[in-house]
Amino acid sequence: TEEKITVLVPGGMHPRVLKRLGEAFDLIQTRAGSEMELSEEQRGRIRAVATGNQMPADWIDQLPNLELIANFGVGYDGVDAKHAASRGILVTNTPDVLNDEVADTTIGLLLNTIRRFPVAETYLREGRWEKEGSFPLTPLSLKNRHVGLLGLGRIGLEIAKRLEPFKVKISYHTRSPRNDVAYTYVPSLLELAKSVDTLISIIPATPQTHKIINSQVLQALGPSGVFINVGRGTSVDEDDLLEALKSGTIAAAGLDVFYDEPRVPAGFFDLPNLCMLPHVASASVPTRDDMADLVVDNIIDWFKTGRVLTPVPETPPK
Ligand code: NDP
């Protein structure tokens, strides 16, 4: 009988990935906190890894026969893809299958932040409508806003398309302008923040995007400004954001992502003008199932055909 290929799943993973990998491969699953506690023999036979965005260089180097790292998620900042590439190891992610879900969530978060719907529902549930009367009018409205997108990639474009029927103005900043859209391109983040009153961040975590949303950018956004982050928390200086929300430098913010998840800065909990979600932008059963299938299909295709479906740009060409 032919020996099965060994795949490592370090730490937690979506059950559908575990089920499907278990059917086709010899699966080694380790626990969070002791992800790389493996025998010499196990290290030697592992040829692929399925991970939820955690595969640093020193883990990669412990696996001499590794060929492929399949990441669950489109953001793969926790996987050292450059180091993997230098060793000829492929990295795949899960682009596109989550675009619609994340864009839908962004619109929901934007409206919740501006119109305070979660706060209004709490008001009703606490019996305050009957006792105290109508919920206070929201000072902010989406009407007549000018939205600036920081990032206009796969997900950013879906957000922009959804914003069009809301009749807002749309501008964007990326390093290179797209030639297939009519939205206004702004060549710097600071210029974008100056020209809009609503900023939506949907960029990856990279050294270049680290804490680029700072006090200067928030000041430029101004006192009626709304900041929404569905990209990565590392793009934001959270001390600066806390201060800006407290002092009225901007009006409100909505966050799905944080700098050091799942830790949320203590000061955030006291801010009435901050709407927060626990990183759920893609977190529906159907979308996570699609992401799970893409993780598994990349691994299966690699060993069947020598090709993968969705390699990241760092991955070496075959
Ligand atoms: P894409 O790679 O398709 O798009 C990334 C966009 O960011 C591009 O428009 C790119 O343009 C821009 N960008 C990258 N670096 C910079 C920079 N330094 N300055 C300005 N713009 C920059 O990615 P996706 O749209 O698929 O996903 C974006 C990110 O969203 C993911 O990397 C992930 O971290 C996050 N995400 C969060 C989710 C959540 O649950 N909250 C779910 C899914 C994704 P250019 O290269 O021209 O600069």
Tens digits of per-residue pLDDT, 224-242?
Answer: 999 999 999 999 999 999 9
Q: What is the pLDDT of residue 1?
A: 57
Tens digits of per-residue pLDDT, 118-160?
Answer: 999 999 999 999 999 999 999 999 999 999 999 999 999 999 9
For residue 48, how far is the Cα from the chain centroid?
24
ipTM for the predicted complex: 0.99
Q: What is the pLDDT of residue 316?
A: 79
- Tokens of residue 56, six digits: 């640093």
Indicate if 164 belongs to the active site.
Answer: no
Which residue has the least CA distance to atom 8 on ligand 1? 153
Distance CA 103, CA 216 (A): 27
Which residue has the least CA distance to atom 22 on ligand 1? 174
Which residue of 202, 211, 214, 234 sits with most ligand 1 atoms within 8 Å of its CB, as the best mutation to test the pocket? Answer: 202
Indicate if 232 belongs to the active site.
Answer: yes
* 47 within 8 A of 66, measured Cβ to Cβ: yes
List 115, 178, 279, 314, catalytic entry: 279
Rg of the chain taking only CA atoms, in angstroms: 22
Task: Quote the percentage of the chain above a pLDDT of 90.
Answer: 98
- Mean residue pLDDT across the chain: 97
Task: Tell me how far CA of residue 253 lies from CA of 10, 26, 197, 302, in angstroms.
Answer: 35, 46, 12, 42
Distance CA 92, CA 294 (A): 9
* 55 within 8 A of 275, measured Cβ to Cβ: no
Indicate if 35 belongs to the active site.
Answer: no
Residue 192's nearest CA partner among 234, 148, 228 is 148
Tens digits of per-residue pLDDT, 152-175?
Answer: 999 999 999 999 999 999 999 999
List 20, 232, 238, 288, catalytic entry: 232
List 121, 210, 261, 307, catalytic entry: 261
Q: What is the pLDDT of residue 318?
A: 61
The reported pTM is: 0.97
Distance CA 309, CA 11 (A): 24
Residue 10's nearest CA partner among 33, 40, 41, 35 is 35
Pocket of ligand 1 (CB under 6 A): 74-75, 95, 98, 102, 151-156, 173-176, 202-206, 208-209, 230-232, 256-257, 279, 281-282
Instruction: Calculate how far, in angstroms, residue 150's C-alpha sits from the geometric centre of ligand 1.
Output: 8
Instruction: Calculate how far, in angstroms, residue 204's C-alpha sits from the geometric centre of ligand 1.
Output: 4
Ligand 1 atom closest to residue 157's alpha carbon, by position in its atom list = 25
Ligand 1 atom closest to residue 204's alpha carbon, by position in its atom list = 32
Distance CA 113, CA 223 (A): 15
How many Å from the N-terminal Cα to the C-terminal Cα in the chain? 30
Distance CA 103, CA 116 (A): 19
Instruction: Calculate how far, in angstroms, residue 248's C-alpha sits from the geometric centre of ligand 1.
Output: 28
Q: What is the pLDDT of residue 76?
A: 98
Q: Which residues of the chain have pLDDT under 50?
A: none
Residue 17's nearest CA partner among 67, 71, 83 is 71
CA dihedral 170, 176, 181, 186 (to 10 degrees): 30
* 170 within 8 A of 183, measured Cβ to Cβ: yes
